[in-house]
Structure 1
Amino acid sequence: MPDTRLIDTGAARLRAMVEAPVEGQMQRPLVLMVHGFPEGWYSWRHQFGPLVAAGHTVAAMDVRGYGGSDKPEAIDAYAMAETVGDVIAVADALQPDAPVVLVGHDWGAPIVWYSALTRPDRVGAVAGLSVPFTGVPNRPFTEIFRRAFTDRGRFFYQEWFQEPGPAEREAEADVRGYLRRLFYAISGDAPPGAWPEKPAGATLLDGMVDPDTFPPWLEEPDFDHMVAEFESGGFRGPLNRYRNHERDFVWAQAWRGRRIEQPALFIGGTRDPASFGFGAFGDPLAVMRPHVPLVEGHMLEGCGHWTQQERPAQVNAILLEWLARLPSGVRAA
C-alpha cells in the first residue's frame, strides 16, 4: 500500500499516495497521476507496482473535492487555475529539484495538459488518457455543448451538472447505484445504447441500467472503496469542476498560441465518447498534433472510458515503454 502524504499548498490540503523504489534501485523521475470524475487516487491502483518496479517514484493525488483532500464550498475554488496550482504544488513538495512526469485521466487529462502548457519549467513530460488536448479554446465549452446539444433539445451530461443542487441530490441519493450505472454506461463492456440519447431536461440516470453482473475489471472490494469515498465526501466539489467553463476560458486566453512542447502521450479507447469529443472529431491524434507536436498516441480497441482500470496491462505497457524513452532527467521545455 502506498504511503499517505498530506500536502498543504497554502490554498488547500491535498492527499497524495506515494510509493518509491527500494533503496539502491535506479531512480527515475517522479510520475504524478491525476484522476477524473467520479474517481480518486485509487483509480490508479494498477499503475503503482509496475511503475515503481521500473524505478519511478509514483504518486496519485486526490484532486480537491475528492477523498482525503480539502473540499471547499465555493464554485470558483475548482477553477482550472486552482487545480493546476494544486498539481504544481504537489510536484514541488514531492520533487522540488527536477521536472516531473504528469499522467491524467478524464478531468485529470485537461488538468495535466494545462499544467504542462502553463508550467513547462515543472513538467518535463505529460500523458493524457481519454481526453485529448485540442488547444486553448476560442469560446467557453458551455457555448460549444449548448449549441451542439441543449439548443437542439438533446441531453448533455455537463448541462445537467451546471446548476448546483439537482445533480448532487441525484448522485448522493444512492451513491452505489449511481456509480454502478455511470461506470457501466461508458465502459467498453456496455452494449450500444447504455449511454442513452434523451431529451434536454432529463437527469443523468434517466434511461441508464444497473447491470446484473458488473464487468470484472472493477472488483467488489475496489468498488466498495470508491463508494465509501463518495458517501463520505459527497459530490459538490467534484461537480463544481464542471461549473467553471467560462472562468477557465478567460484564464486560458493568456496562453493562446502556445503549444505543449514537451514529450507527450495520449491513450484513448475506441468505445470512449470522450476520446472523440462526443462526436466533434474522428481522430484525436490529428486534432492534437497542431497543439502538441511531440505527441504519440494509442487507441485501445474496444476500451471504454475508464482506460487505466479497464485495460491496466495495456496502459502499463504503453506507459513504461514511453517513460523509458524520455530524455534523461525529463528536461523541461
Structure 2
Amino acid sequence: MKNGRINANGIDFAYVEEGEGPLALLLHGFPESGDATYRHLIPALAAAGYRAVAPNMRGFAPTALPADGSMRLRDLVADANALHEALNGDGNAILVGHDWGAGIAWGAAVAAPERWSRVVASDVPPLQFFGSYSSTYEGIENMNHFWFFQMDMAEEVLAANDMAYLRQILQERWTGPGYDATEEWEGTRRALGEPARLRAALDLYRTNFGPKQMGTPEWAAEQGALWGPLPTQPTLYLHGTEDKSVVLDEETMAAIRAALPEGSETAFLEGVGHIVPVEKPDRYNELVLRFLKKTI
C-alpha cells in the first residue's frame, strides 16, 4: 500500500491505496483509522481489479481537522462524494463503509447515486432500523457510549493513561470473543492521540446526537433527509452475531434485506463483534468480492 493526500470538500485528506481500476472508497468508523480497518480488504480489492482507497475521515490524523470544526454527518457525506470527484471516480465506483462509515455510505449513495455502482455496509444498518433499535431499552444500554461522550468529563476519561478506556472498549466490548484488537488500537492511537483529534472524534456524537437536539422534529428531519432513504444501488449489508453495540436478530436482518433494492444481500458473520472487516477477514473479503462479481 502507498500513502497519499488529496483535497476534497475543503479538507486535506490522508489515505492509503493499492491497485488500479474502478474506485473503491473505504470509509472507517469510530475510533478507528482507514489503514487499520481495511488492511485486509485493500489488497483483496486490488487483486480483484479495483483501486482501493481508504482515507482517514476529517479530524482523524493525519487527515486535517476541519477549519470550521464541523463533524456533522451532512459534511461527512459531502466529503465522501467530494473524494469520489477528487480521486477521478466514475459510475463504476463502489462505496464501502463500517460503523460511522456505514452511516456516511448510506447517505452518500443516496445523495449522488450516479457516482456509486454498489454499496457495502457493515455494523450500522439503515436509519429506519438503527433508529428503532437506538430508542429501545436494549439499544440505549448497549450504545451507552453515545450518552457518555456528551459529558465534558469524557475527554479527560478517554485521554487518561494513553487512552486506556478506548483500548479496553475495543478489546472487551467492540470485538468478538478471542479477537486481539491490538492493530485497531494502534490505529486509534495514530488517529486520535492528540487532544484536538480526540475532541473532533467526540464531536461526531456531540453534534449529531447532542442532548438538546436529538429527538426534536428538526433533528429527525435532518437525519431522515441524510440517510433515511435507501440506496437504489445493489447493496451488501454485513453484521456480526456477537456485536454487543448494535444487536440484530434474524427477523430484523430479513427485514433489512427486504427493504434494500433488487440484487442486494445481507449476511451475518458468526462469532464476530462490531468490527466486521477485521475480525474474520477471510470470510468478510469472500462475501464482499463475491457480491461485487455477481451479475445483477
> Offset at 1:81?
0.8
Q: 1:174 to 1:8 in 2, by over 3 A?
A: same
Measured in 1, the distance between the counterparts of 2:171 and 2:80 equals 29
The letter of the residue matching 2:3 is D
Aligned equivalent of 2:156 = 169
How many corresponding residue pairs? 284
Please, what TM-score do these two structures have when normalized by structure 2?
0.84
- Residue 53 of structure 1, aligned match among 47, 58, 76: 47
SS where residue 284 of structure 2 aligns?
A: helix
Residues 136, 253 of structure 1: 8 Å contact kept: no
- Residue 229 of structure 1, aligned match among 153, 167, 191: 191
Aligned equivalent of 1:188 = 176
- Residue 92 of structure 1, aligned match among 48, 73, 85: 85
Residue 62 of structure 2 corresponds to residue 68 of structure 1: yes
Percent of pairs identical after alignment? 28
Aligned equivalent of 1:242 = 205
Query: Which has a greater percent of helix?
Result: 2
Q: 1:149 to 1:275 in 2, by over 3 A?
A: closer
Structure 1's unaligned 5+ residue stretches are: 22-26, 191-214, 328-333
Residues 124, 262 of structure 1: 8 Å contact kept: yes
Measured in 2, the distance between the counterparts of 1:285 and 1:2 equals 37
Residues 257, 266 of structure 2: 8 Å contact kept: no
SS where residue 39 of structure 2 aligns?
A: helix
Measured in 1, the distance between the counterparts of 2:267 and 2:171 equals 23
SS where residue 103 of structure 1 aligns?
A: strand
Aligned equivalent of 1:18 = 17
Measured in 2, the distance between the counterparts of 1:80 and 1:148 equals 25
> Offset at 1:99?
4.2
Measured in 1, the distance between the counterparts of 2:244 and 2:187 equals 26
Larger Cα Rg: Structure 1 or Structure 2? Answer: 1
The letter of the residue matching 2:11 is A
The letter of the residue matching 1:292 is L
Measured in 2, the distance between the counterparts of 1:8 and 1:56 equals 21
Q: 1:177 to 1:57 in 2, by over 3 A?
A: same
> Offset at 1:119?
1.6
SS where residue 289 of structure 1 aligns?
A: helix
SS where residue 121 of structure 1 aligns?
A: helix
Aligned equivalent of 1:301 = 270
Please, what TM-score do these two structures have when normalized by structure 1?
0.75
SS where residue 235 of structure 1 aligns?
A: helix
> Offset at 1:223?
4.0
Measured in 2, the distance between the counterparts of 1:85 and 1:174 equals 35
Residue 231 of structure 2 corresponds to residue 260 of structure 1: yes
> Offset at 1:180?
2.2
> Offset at 1:273?
2.9
Measured in 1, the distance between the counterparts of 2:246 and 2:145 equals 16
CA root-mean-square deviation: 3.0
> Offset at 1:74?
5.6
